[in-house]
Each structure stands twice: as structure tokens, then as C-alpha cells.
Structure 1
């Protein structure tokens, strides 16, 4: 118990420093893609000291604690698995792409990452920005031929070519439909995602703010394209902030949320939003499917994706952002959604 309390205090301290007003420090500048060999330590229990596997609507499949000798590895803000279920793309809030391949053991559980590379992101000039606030990548979505990234501080949603995003400037930016004066510098477009093409949203891009709220305390959000293009709102349940989202095959939306405080510690939860409720002018909310605190194997959970599991169920993979802090961990956790 004491060990968990100390870890919670350290993590909250590290998060508090990170989420303070931006200092404007420059990110590490690299000219080319770098290999990042990753060492994975298996996590077999989600709840510390327990063999419990069922948590709310989810069954814990397994997880990894990830470390690398490459200092730039980490700071994951969003993570997407490609259609092959093996290769992945991620973005770091330091302005870097992370790419690689998932490895699994004979039983199908995550066992490691391979072929991981880190590449600097390019801005509209085709250059690697020297100020973190210019390239603070927070959300990522993949669509045929496109890698779509949302940014904080300089609020925008940029579309990069895919393949080729690693060394390309964005092809264009989407109109975010939310007045920039309403967006907080360090709490704006945390989430960007692409709706299923078969849904009423017809494969449109959506974005959701982390902490930017209207006069009623609801989060700003918008459908940026398609027949239902327009702004909507998401109910914010204080003290939780939205950090990422992913669509289920049926069109429902899973929202990953995080909370932290010195007294309350760090927590995470996943909320399910009915796909049919996503439309201009709507205020959306939904049930909490899972919630965890520092008694569980969590950290600063920032990324979520939904993948097709070999068992026929939808699987959810979560990743954490270690903020390049020795007090935090890079985690990758996998759950099976039990309908």
C-alpha cells in the first residue's frame, strides 16, 4: 500500500509539472528517422496483487511496460493499429512519429514491439519546428491515404499523406469549426478520429477538446466533414478530461479519460457514447465501462484504439504518456470488450 501511495504521489507530481503552462522549450531536433530498440516487461495482472480478469465491461488480456535506450522513445499522445492488426503508428507530443510492429506470444498476448522508429514531424513549411508549442501533436487518426493529426497550442487538424507522412509536410488543414478563442492552450484538440464509413457520419473526421469547455462546462467537439458536419458538445464529468477516442465497429464511440490530483491520485476510465447521438448541436454522454485508479497498472493513459481480436470480440489497446519522466512509465494494455 505504501509503495503504491509513493508511486501515486510521484506520478501526480510529474503530471503537475508537465501540465503547467508551457515553457516554450525546444524539442529535440533530429534530421532523420532513428531506430528505438524496445525492451518489454510483461504485465499479467491489471489489478495489483489480484488474479481478477473482469473489470466492468472489459476482460484484461495482458500488457507491457516498455523501455528503450533511445531517449526520444515515449511521450505517446495517440496510437493507431493498421488494418493488418500488426503495424502501428503513433504521435508524441514532442512532435515525433512513432512507428513499429506489435509482437504476440503463442497465446496471442502482447509480448513486445519490434522495428520501432522515431521520426520528426514536419510543419506546413516542410521543416521540423524548434518550438514545442508549434508541433504539440495530441491526436491521430488513419484513413485510406491519410494520417490525420490534431495539435494543441497552435490549434489545428492537419492531414499528412500515408504512406510517406514521416518525411512530408501536411497536405492541408481542416477547418476545426470551433472558435480558437474558446480553446485552451494546453487543453484543446486532444482527440481526432475517423468514423466508420458505414455509419451515419460516413467516415468523417471528428475532434474533441480535452479541457476547453463552454459556459455550461461542456467540452467543445466537432464533426469536421460530411453530411453531419457541425459543432457538438460532450458532457465533461469533472475531474476527468478526455485524452483520446476510438470507434467500435457498430459506430459507438469509446472515450478514454484521465484525472489526476495530489490528493486523489491518478485515474482513468472509458466512456461509451452512442454513435447515433453524434450530430450537430447535440450534447452527448454515455455510461462508464471501466474505471481504474492507482491500485491498478495504469499511468498517464493518453491513447486508445480498437482492433479486431482473433476471438471475434473487439479488443481495446491503451497506451500511456510518460512525459519523458523517470517517475512515469510507458504502458501498453489490452482488453477484450464483453458486449
Structure 2
């Protein structure tokens, strides 16, 4: 029994057995290029965002899908992600000479626990967010709310390092609305290397969305993000200047699904603060979107931030695996 912030979390005892080598599935994803973000329109600019291109992806492995988090490397080719069914996904984003995505090669392997055993139960394997710091990968899980750290090994496997609780009272986290957004702030910016997490829809006493900051010295604090227009938060990414972009999703029967990108000022994130931000983009079913869940931000050679966004198809026949990319042509310091 381990106590965190006054709440008691029960972790199932693990039978310690020698770790077994994990099988890796390697395959080419079947991909169709998306040339138009707004359906039936050649419009490329949407406020400060410029649509670069996208992919609709399928096949290659029956386990491919349910993609919930992505971290794209600085070279904008290699990536690592998680599926909420308990798999790592890594590989390469194929691009043309102009940098537009044209395809995907991928590998899948099961996420393992401290004993090196694949995590197969859905309530334990529900990986929703991912961020990278050197050769360490940090993954946020919901249902069994926790933040686990893995190391990328030379053979391409991922070895469990440690687990910790989110820096909020666990009893306040909804079962399926945990920390879908985590990320490391850039060094020498306002939050200076801190791990930041924001829940999907776990609300504080004022009905705003709960978040935390864990500083590099181990200290931490809570903050909140204003919840508006029934949007829930599904991921975050840091801009080079240290400010954040959050990816949000809304679903209702009347209007279907929508996505939103909102920018938060890192200087406003302080203990017990409630922050809001500018809406950069809001898109509904008139656009090429689905259940958008993962966001990664890289930088083009000219310094322009590039947003890579992926969707979770829930292994449903009526949903799609999408990868969309935008350039952010202006930033606010």
C-alpha cells in the first residue's frame, strides 16, 4: 500500500520472473494522403496555422490503432508513441522533399511492467500520453492512474525504470479521465525542464481541469486550466519559447466531434492558478478530423514550430487513424 497526497493506491503484487525478450511487429502502414484539411476547400491557412498535409492510415497489423500519444524526434522522421491497448509504436514518418508526410513505417511491441511482463489488462495498460527526455520515455496511464518512466535500450526495447503518482490527490481523478497530457518544458524557459501534466476531465472545485507541475528539484504544485465549450484536454506540447499548446476534443450527439488547439502562457502557470489561453484553431466535422488524441511539436529548419497530431480510432470501423501536420507561423513570447 503506497500513500500519495492522503489517498491510498493499491498496486497488485508482481511475481518477479526473468524478463523475456519482447516480440516486435514491423510493417508498412497503408496510408492515403490528405491534401485538404477543410473538406472541399483548398484553404491552407487557418489563423496562425498553415496546413502542411496529413495521412489516413490503416492496416499493417491487426493491433495497429487506438493511437493515443506521440513524440516526434527533432529530425521530424523518427517517432515513438503509445497505443491505449498496451503497445509501444515507433518508426519513421516518410516525407517528400518539401517535408510533407507521405507514409509511415512502424513497429509494435507490448508495454511491460517492472518484471518485464507485458501489461495485458486494459485498466492497467491504458496508456494515454507520452513525453521524452533523452533516452527516457515518460508515459501517463489512466484508470490505474500513474506516470511510469521507461528507458530506450540499444536494441530498441523499452525497459521499465520507475513509477510515480500524478501530483494531485488520486481520489479526485475520474476513472477514465486521467492525465492524457504530459510534457517536459524546454530548459531555460519559464518552467525550466519541469514535467507538466493536465488531466482530460478531472475537475477542481470550480469545475476547471486539474493539472500539475513537477519541477526538476522534485518540488511540485497544482494548477487548473479553464474548461470551456465542453472541450476536454487530450494532449499538450511545448513551443520553443516555453509556452504550451493544448489539444482538446469535444463530442456530442448534435454536432458530432470537434477538435481545438489552445495556447497557454507558461508565465501564468503558478501554484493554485487557473489559466486560459488563445484559441488557435477549432474544427468540426466539416474538416478532416476524428478522435484527435496526440500532439507533438518539433521545429523546422527555419525555426517554425510544426505540430503533429494523431487520432485514436478505438479499433472502430466508423473511426479513422489520422496524422495531421500544421506550421505555426507566429508565436507570442
TM over 0.5: yes
Q: Distance in 2 between matches of 1:302 and 1:207?
A: 15
Within 5 Å, which residues of 2 pair with 1:21-100?
32-100=23-91
Evaluate the alpha carbon distance shift between residue 165 and residue 246 of structure 1 in structure 2; reply closer, same or farther with a 3 A threshold. farther
Q: 285-294 or 123-132, which moves further after superposition? A: 123-132
Q: Does 1:274 align with 2:280?
A: no
Q: Quote the offset at 1:164 in angstroms.
A: 5.7
Q: Quote the offset at 1:107 in angstroms.
A: 2.3
Q: Quote the offset at 1:69 in angstroms.
A: 3.0
Q: Does 1:176 align with 2:166?
A: yes
Q: Distance in 1 between matches of 2:158 and 2:295?
A: 25
Q: Quote the offset at 1:173 in angstroms.
A: 1.9
Normalising to structure 1: TM-score of the pair?
0.87
Asked whether the 8 Å contact 2:309–2:323 carries over to 1, the reply is yes
SS of aligned partner of 2:267: helix
1:22 corresponds to which residue? none
Q: Quote the offset at 1:311 in angstroms.
A: 4.2
Q: Deviations over 1:122-156 (max 9, x none)?
A: 12232112311111000100001210000000100
1:161 corresponds to which residue? 151
Asked whether the 8 Å contact 1:176–1:224 carries over to 2, the reply is no
Relative to total residues, which structure has the larger strand share, 1 or 2?
2
Normalising to structure 2: TM-score of the pair?
0.89
Q: 1:207 aligns with which of 194, 197, 217?
A: 197
Q: Quote the offset at 1:181 in angstroms.
A: 0.5
Q: Deviations over 1:263-316 (max 9, x none)?
A: 121000100000111222211110100000000000000011111124431111
Q: Distance in 1 between matches of 2:100 and 2:158?
A: 34
1:150 corresponds to which residue? 140
Q: Does 1:110 align with 2:101?
A: yes
Q: Is there any run of 5+ residues in structure 1 with no aligned partner, and where? A: 1-29
Q: Does 1:265 align with 2:232?
A: no
Q: Distance in 2 between matches of 1:252 and 1:291?
A: 19
Q: 1:231 aligns with which of 222, 226, 230?
A: 222
Q: Deviations over 1:50-75 (max 9, x none)?
A: 01111122011111111123111111
Q: 2:243 aligns with which of 252, 261, 274?
A: 252
Q: Distance in 2 between matches of 1:332 and 1:59?
A: 15
Asked whether the 8 Å contact 1:205–1:224 carries over to 2, the reply is yes
SS of aligned partner of 1:276: helix
SS of aligned partner of 2:160: coil
Asked whether the 8 Å contact 1:97–1:166 carries over to 2, the reply is no
Q: Distance in 1 between matches of 2:168 and 2:27?
A: 37
Q: Does 1:198 align with 2:172?
A: no
2:304 corresponds to which residue? 313
Q: Distance in 2 between matches of 1:314 and 1:69?
A: 30
Q: Distance in 2 between matches of 1:126 and 1:230?
A: 32
Asked whether the 8 Å contact 2:152–2:158 carries over to 1, the reply is no
Q: Distance in 1 between matches of 2:209 and 2:156?
A: 31
Aligned residue pairs: how many? 309
Asked whether the 8 Å contact 2:167–2:220 carries over to 1, the reply is no
Q: 103-112 or 254-263, which moves further after superposition? A: 103-112
Q: Quote the offset at 1:168 in angstroms.
A: 4.2
SS of aligned partner of 1:134: helix
Q: Deviations over 1:23-74 (max 9, x none)?
A: xxxxxxx951111321111111100100111112201111111112311111
Relative to total residues, which structure has the larger helix share, 1 or 2?
1
CA RMSD of superposed structures (Å): 1.6
Evaluate the alpha carbon distance shift between residue 165 and residue 132 of structure 1 in structure 2; reply closer, same or farther with a 3 A threshold. farther
Q: Distance in 2 between matches of 1:174 and 1:260?
A: 31
Asked whether the 8 Å contact 1:125–1:169 carries over to 2, the reply is no
Q: Deviations over 1:179-233 (max 9, x none)?
A: 1100011001111111001113221111110010012101111012336621111
